Amino acid sequence: MPGLRTLALTVAVRGGAKWEDEARSGWSHCLEHLVFKGAGDMGARDIVERIEAEGGSLNASTGYERTSFEVRALHGSLPLAMQILSDLVFRPTLDPDEIEREKDVVAQEIAEAFDTPDDHVFEMAQTQAFDGQPLGRPILGSVASLKPITRASIGDWRARLYSPDRMVVAASGAVDETELLALAERWFGDQTATPAAAPDAPRFTGGDAALTRRIEQANIVFQLPAPSARDPSYAAARLMTEILGGGMASRLFQSAREERGLAYAIDAYHEPYEDAGLLGVYAGASADRAVELARVCAAEIRALAEGGPTAEELARAKAVMNAGLWMSDESPAARAGRAAAQVLIFGAPITSGVMAERTLAQTVDDIRAAAAASLVPRRAATAVLGPKAAAPAGAAFRAALFG
């Protein structure tokens, strides 16, 4: 990216919680924590001090399908960034004492997620959507599933998860391609692959969950099946989600908040995995109006499935989505992360121009069809966390949607 003085480097692995069995639930996330406790010739403090000494920052994240390590740094810092990320994924120390300490840290993270209603309600909904499957278990795992981790077992898991045949190095910003390729060969080119068995394709099961807590507001999530990242109708589903609840002009914001005052926060989202997807709605509402809110949400989804959007709604959604795309193009971190994900999913990066063209090509009928497809299985996953009076909202959503 000409004119920039900073760069972004991402090392992304096609592996995460989706590759775990129930006994190893949370191991990928715990491993991501552990590699920062020491790698190569560096201790935990050395890792961050070396990066920050050159004005950089280091971060990582674990999802269901990918684990990513990211460095933002000044021009000229690429050699150091490549060395450190290589050490983290290939040469972590995995000290037994650090492993035991980090189990306690992750246990606190699990407790914090449980204590945060608008976090825990999404875990509840995810479990209902993919019950009994890796996608239905929390990325953090549980205290019980983390307890058996030893240096040998987590080391074996690292070799399987961070295998170079499932790894992409992506960089953007103030980067010289020749230098990048040489550094990639030096720090990533001599690793031995340890192939892992591919996980089974997920199945959307559906179901209702309710948890009563003495809090002021009900936290509510409704989910339906939606296209995967590889599905040809992906672009239509993204636009449909934007029209449904993507912003202040969306149908849900206008009908649920502006017209009826049912919720302060309400939005829709599309979660695309490689071979599955979710259309979701999240809202925070008073318990005594949760059922009414559920019926409004169902009515708006059904209206899109039966009548589709207006031409004006579709044009606005296209403008919003493409604006977000071009804005992300101005961020080195967004570009590097997006390119890495695309290579892992599709085998090659997709240009922003191609993505924008796909968005613009969608029609009113395409959007209607995408909404209708989410209703075909007649399955929904719902989660309600809050006062007891809100608990019937899940059943009310299902009844209003499917009769």
CA 126 vs. chain centroid, Å, equals 12
Superfamily (CATH H level) for 6-188: Metalloenzyme, LuxS/M16 peptidase-like (3.30.830.10)
Residue 300 contacts residue 310 (beta carbons within 8 Å): no
Q: Pick the catalytic residue from 20, 22, 32, 216.
A: 32
User: Which pair of structure tokens corresponds to residue 1?
Assistant: 């990216």
- 207-402 fold: Cytochrome Bc1 Complex; Chain A, domain 1 (3.30.830)
Could you read off the pLDDT of 112-141 as tens digits, one per residue? 999 999 999 999 999 999 999 999 999 999
Average pLDDT over residues 204-226: 97
**Token pair belonging to 72:** 């933002």
Q: Do 6-188 and 207-402 agree at the fold level?
A: yes
Confirm whether 32 is a catalytic residue: yes
Three-state secondary structure call for residue 202: coil
CA angle 233, 239, 243 (to 5 degrees): 140
How far from 201 is each of 228, 274, 355, CA to CA, in Å? 11, 9, 26
Tell me the whole-structure pTM to 2 decimals. Answer: 0.95
pLDDT at 262: 97
Using CA atoms, how far apart are residues 332 and 174, in angstroms rounded to an integer? 9
DSSP H or E run through 306: helix 290-307
Would you list the domain boundaries of the chain?
6-188, 207-402
Q: Is the pLDDT of residue 403 over 90?
A: no
Written as six digits, the tokens of 148 are 């058996």
For residue 123, give the H/E element and its range. helix 117-129
pLDDT in tens, 235-280: 999 999 999 999 999 999 999 999 999 999 999 999 999 999 999 9
DSSP string, 343-360: HHHHSS---HHHHHHHHH
CB crowding 72-108: b at 16 or more within 10 Å, else e: bbeeebbebbbbbbbbbbbebbbbeebbeebbeebbe
